[in-house]
C-alpha cells in the first residue's frame, strides 16, 4: 500500500476496514431509528454511509453520531456534506468558488479530527439527470434516463434545465482548469487530515448535458488524467458501477478493466454496487442486481482480484413490495453471497 505524507495508511484507525477483504456497508440517515440500526446489524453490516444537514457539520456532531451508531455495532465509513458536493461554483468557476472550496476544506479537516478517514466527492456542474421512474421486474419501479428526453438535472434541492443550464456552453479546457485549481488546494489538506477522497463518476456520464461537458469524471481517460493531476495517495475513486454501466463503450474501458487499472494502483476507495438495463445512448433503467445487462459476479471477482479492502454498498434501491427493508435486504444478501463466492474461488485475503 502507498502512504500519505506522514500517514502510513494502514496505521490510521479507520483508514482501511478492521479486517482484510471486501467489506459491506449500508446507507442510513443521521436520524436512523433503533429498528433501522438493528436491521443493519441483522444483515451483518458493520459500516454506515450517512450525512448531516449543512448547518450541523462540526467535529462535536460527528462524534455524537459515531457514538449513536456504535451502540449498535456500526461504524461510520463516510459522513457526507451535501452543501459541498456537486458544487457548481467549483466545477464551473462561478462567483463564490473560493468560499465553497474553503467550506469543503473545513469539512475535510473536521472529518480527520473526528477520526473519519474517507469522504466521497462528486464534481458535476449541473447535478444528476433523470427522466422519471419506470417499471422493472414484477412492477417494481426505478430511476430511468433517456438522452433524447433529458430536460433537467438536480442536486441538493436545486434544479438545472436544458438547453443551457448556466446560460452558455462550457469548454472542456475550462472544466479541466477549474478542477486543477480545486484539487491542488484539496490535496495538502486531505493528506494532513488523513482523509481519503473517492471521486464519484458523473451520473449519467460521457455526454454533455445542458452545455456542460462530462469530460473529467465521465470516462476512463478523464479519471486517469484527473488522478494524475491530483498526484496524491489520498485522492482516488468511488466507483459507482451503475454509472460506469450507464456509459457503456463510451467510457473507454469496461468496468472490469477499470477495476483492474485503478484497483491495482490503490485508487479504489469505495464501490456503489448497482446494475442497469442497458447502456447509453439507448437509455437505461436502474434495476435489481441480477436483472441488468452486467453479470455482477464479474464485478465482484475483479474487486477480489485486486485485493480491494474498502466498502461495497447498494445504491439507488428500487421501489418494491416491502419497502426499503425488502430492497436493501435483497441487495445486501446478493452482495454478501457474491463476496463469499469470490473468496471461496480465489481464497480469503491475507491479514
* Domain at 142, CATH number: 3.20.20.150
Measured N-to-C along each axis, helices 255-263 and 220-230 cross at an angle, to the nearest 10 degrees, of 10
The pLDDT tens digits of the residues spanning 91-115 come to 999 999 999 999 999 999 999 999 9
The average pLDDT across 23-43 equals 98
Q: Are 107 and 140 in contact, with CB atoms under 8 Å apart?
A: no
Domain containing 216 equals 3-21+88-104+121-323
| Count of domains forming the chain | 1
In this prediction, residue 19 carries a pLDDT of 74
Length of the chain: 351
Residue 18's pLDDT band, with cuts at 50, 70 and 90, is: low
Helices (H), 74-140: 88-91, 97-114
Instruction: With respect to residue 112, please indicate whether it lies within any of the assigned structural domains.
Output: no
Dist CA 136 CA 309 (whole Å): 32
Q: What is the pTM of this model?
A: 0.94
Which residue in this structure is represented by grid cell 445512448? 281
DSSP secondary-structure letter at 167?
S
Would you state the torsion angle of the CA atoms of residues 333, 119, 8, 11, taken in this order, to the nearest 10 degrees? -50
Do the domain assignments include residue 212? yes
Beta strand extents in 130-255 (DSSP E only) = 133-135, 141-145, 152-155, 158-161, 196-200, 206-209, 212-214, 235-240
- Find the mean pLDDT for residues 195-206: 98
Q: Would you say residue 334 lies in a domain?
A: no
- 248 located within any domain: yes
pLDDT greater than 90 at residue 164: yes
Residues with Cβ within 8 Å of residue 262, at least 6 apart in sequence: 223, 227, 236, 237, 239, 268
Tens of pLDDT, residues 1-14: 334 333 334 433 34
Per-residue pLDDT tens digits for 108-161? 999 999 999 999 999 999 999 999 999 999 999 999 999 999 999 999 999 999
Q: Quick one: pLDDT at residue 14?
A: 41
Rounded to the nearest integer, the mean pLDDT of the chain is 94
Q: Is residue 142 part of a domain?
A: yes
DSSP sequence for 280-332? TTS-EEEE-TTSSSS-HHHHHHHHHHTT--SEEE--SPPB-TTHHHHHHHHHH
- The neighbour count for residue 308, using CB atoms within 10 Å, is 24
Residue 348 binned pLDDT confidence (cut-offs 50, 70, 90): confident
Q: Cell triple for residue 48? A: 454506515
The 10s digit of each residue's pLDDT in 49-85 is: 999 999 999 999 999 999 999 999 999 999 999 999 9
pLDDT digits (tens, 9 = 90+) for 273-331: 999 999 999 999 999 999 999 999 999 999 999 999 999 999 999 999 999 999 999 99
Amino acid at each position: 500500500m502507498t502512504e500519505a505524507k506522514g500517514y502510513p495508511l494502514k496505521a490510521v484507525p479507520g483508514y482501511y476496514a478492521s479486517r482484510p477483504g471486501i467489506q459491506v456497508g449500508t446507507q442510513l440517515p443521521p436520524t436512523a431509528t433503533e429498528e433501522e440500526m438493528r436491521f443493519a446489524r441483522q444483515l451483518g453490516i458493520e459500516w454506515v454511509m450517512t450525512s448531516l444537514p449543512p448547518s450541523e457539520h462540526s467535529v462535536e456532531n460527528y462524534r455524537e453520531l459515531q457514538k449513536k451508531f456504535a451502540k449498535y455495532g456500526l461504524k461510520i465509513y463516510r459522513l457526507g456534506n451535501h452543501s459541498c458536493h456537486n458544487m457548481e461554483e467549483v466545477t464551473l468557476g462561478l462567483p463564490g468558488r473560493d468560499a465553497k472550496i474553503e467550506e469543503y476544506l473545513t469539512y475535510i479537516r473536521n472529518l480527520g479530527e473526528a477520526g473519519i478517514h474517507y469522504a466521497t466527492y462528486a464534481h458535476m456542474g449541473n447535478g444528476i439527470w433523470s427522466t422519471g421512474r419506470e417499471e422493472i421486474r414484477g412492477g417494481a419501479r426505478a430511476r430511468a434516463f433517456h438522452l433524447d428526453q433529458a430536460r433537467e438535472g438536480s442536486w441538493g434541492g436545486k434544479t438545472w434545465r436544458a438547453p443551457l443550464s448556466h446560460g452558455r456552453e462550457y469548454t472542456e479546457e475550462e472544466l479541466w482548469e477549474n478542477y486543477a485549481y480545486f484539487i491542488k488546494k484539496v490535496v495538502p489538506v486531505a493528506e494532513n487530515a488523513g482523509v481519503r477522497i473517492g471521486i464519484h463518476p458523473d451520473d449519467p456520464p460521457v455526454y454533455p448535458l445542458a452545455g456542460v461537458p462530462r469530460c473529467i469524471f465521465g470516462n476512463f481517460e478523464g479519471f486517469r488524467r484527473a488522478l494524475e493531476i491530483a498526484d496524491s495517495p489520498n485522492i482516488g475513486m468511488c466507483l459507482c458501477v451503475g454509472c460506469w454501466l450507464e456509459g457503456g463503450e463510451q467510457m473507454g474501458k469496461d468496468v472490469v478493466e477499470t477495476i483492474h487499472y485503478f484497483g491495482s494502483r490503490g485508487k479504489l476507495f469505495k464501490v456503489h454496487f448497482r446494475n442497469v438495463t442497458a447502456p447509453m445512448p439507448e437509455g437505461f433503467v436502474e434495476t435489481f442486481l441480477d436483472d441488468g445487462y452486467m453479470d455482477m459476479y464479474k464485478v465482484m471477482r475483479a474487486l477480489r482480484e485486486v485485493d480491494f479492502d474498502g466498502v461495497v454498498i447498494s445504491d439507488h434501491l428500487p421501489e418494491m413490495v416491502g419497502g426499503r427493508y425488502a430492497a436493501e435486504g435483497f441487495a445486501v444478501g446478493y452482495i454478501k453471497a457474491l463476496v463469499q463466492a469470490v473468496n471461496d474461488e480465489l481464497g480469503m485475503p491475507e491479514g
